[in-house]
């Protein structure tokens, strides 16, 4: 049986693309931060930092360095409690690793911690949350601390204006690069990695059952979205012959997106997520690949 492809958001793929393609890593950082940065000279995936012997260590998904700054980029595919304190600990671990004994604090490089989250971790509906330290009594007072934390909410990509950040988050959410240059280049790198069958098999084995099931649910959602989009386009083109081809295509695309999202969410959300929450991982795995069994389970949910 042919094994599935990995998504960019899955950590083995994310790590590989960012580490092998430092140019894409740099473009991603510039897109997220909204500013140019110096050339990325070093990217290390799964970098382990331990502030001191016996202390709790951290493993960074992707750590990148430029001549004057250090960047940590984390891909988070499901919600975890305590994100704020987690970022605080990551910051401390990074700072400790950057400063050797006897060196002035002025030598600490600027640092940026970026979490790309598939869900909204703070519930405010924002696509981007940026955290910086400010004086509560006077906004004009600069602390000069030299770090910024950013949390991206991929699920709210549609709230962003047209541009590369919207295109990037849209690609992560839907696996559809569209006409965005950065997303398209990442998609090419992802396809090349998936073509490496030996690596792909090993990478899939690295995923936990929960991670794999969540990805299977997202693939089902994408399949539903694409099916609905195709059907909507066909319906729109048929109607467009009567009312005008351009109007028909536009309406068909809109109907396709709506229908596809509804179908995908019904399958991936109502079934895969509920099975996983119930700890029924084997059922979830079978439902992800067996259409008849999936329909049987969906009928069962409808009767309950």
DSSP string, 250-303: HHHHHHHHHHHHHHHHHHIIIIIIHHHHTT-HHHHHHHHH-HHHHHHHHHHHHH
Over range 153-178, report the average pLDDT: 95
> What are the residue boundaries of the structural domains of the chain, listed by start?
11-201, 208-303
Tell me, what's the pLDDT at 216? 56
Sheet-wide strand order for 42-49:
42-49, 58-65, 69-76, 110-117, 147-153, 128-131
Using an 8 Å Cβ cutoff, are 42 and 66 in contact? no
Using an 8 Å Cβ cutoff, are 64 and 25 in contact? yes
Read off the pLDDT of residues 92-145 as tens digits, 9 standing for 90 and up.
Answer: 999 988 888 889 999 999 999 999 999 999 999 999 999 999 899 999 999 999
Other Cβ atoms closer than 10 A to 246? 9
Confidence tier at 295 by pLDDT (50, 70, 90): confident
Using an 8 Å Cβ cutoff, are 62 and 19 in contact? yes
Hey, which residues does 75 pair with through a beta bridge? 116
pTM of the model: 0.72
* Cα dihedral: 178, 184, 186, 187 (round 10): 70
The residue assigned the tokens 């951290």 is: 58
Read off the pLDDT of residues 20-79 as tens digits, 9 standing for 90 and up.
Answer: 999 999 999 999 999 999 999 889 998 888 766 667 778 889 999 999 899 999 999 888
Using an 8 Å Cβ cutoff, are 58 and 89 in contact? yes
């Amino acid at each position: 049986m042919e094994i599935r492809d990995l998504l960019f958001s899955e950590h083995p793929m994310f790590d590989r693309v960012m580490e092998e393609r430092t140019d894409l890593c740099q473009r991603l950082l510039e897109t997220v931060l909204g500013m140019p940065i110096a050339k990325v000279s070093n990217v290390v995936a799964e970098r382990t930092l331990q502030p001191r012997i016996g202390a709790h260590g951290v493993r960074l998904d992707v750590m990148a360095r430029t001549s004057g700054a250090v960047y940590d980029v984390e891909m988070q595919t499901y919600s975890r409690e305590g994100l704020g304190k987690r970022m605080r600990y990551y910051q401390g671990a990074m700072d400790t690793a950057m400063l050797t004994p006897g060196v002035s604090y002025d030598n600490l490089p600027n640092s940026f911690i970026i979490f790309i989250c598939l869900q909204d971790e703070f519930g405010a509906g924002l696509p981007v949350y940026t955290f910086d330290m400010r004086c509560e009594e006077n906004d004009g007072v600069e602390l000069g601390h030299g770090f910024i934390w950013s949390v991206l909410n991929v699920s709210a990509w549609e709230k962003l204006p047209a541009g590369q950040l919207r295109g990037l988050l849209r690609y992560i959410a839907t696996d559809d690069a569209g006409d965005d240059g950065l997303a398209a280049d990442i998609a090419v790198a992802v396809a090349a990695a998936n073509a490496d069958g030996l690596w792909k098999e090993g990478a899939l084995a690295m995923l936990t059952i929960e991670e794999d099931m969540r990805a299977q649910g997202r693939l089902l959602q994408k399949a539903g979205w694409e099916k609905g989009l195709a059907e909507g386009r066909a319906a729109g083109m048929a109607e467009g012959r009567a009312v005008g081809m351009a109007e028909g295509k536009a309406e068909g695309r809109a109907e396709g997106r709506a229908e596809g999202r509804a179908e995908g969410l019904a399958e991936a959300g109502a079934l895969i997520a509920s099975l996983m929450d119930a700890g029924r991982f084997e059922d979830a795995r079978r439902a992800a690949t067996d259409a008849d069994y999936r329909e049987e389970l969906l009928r069962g949910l409808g009767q309950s």
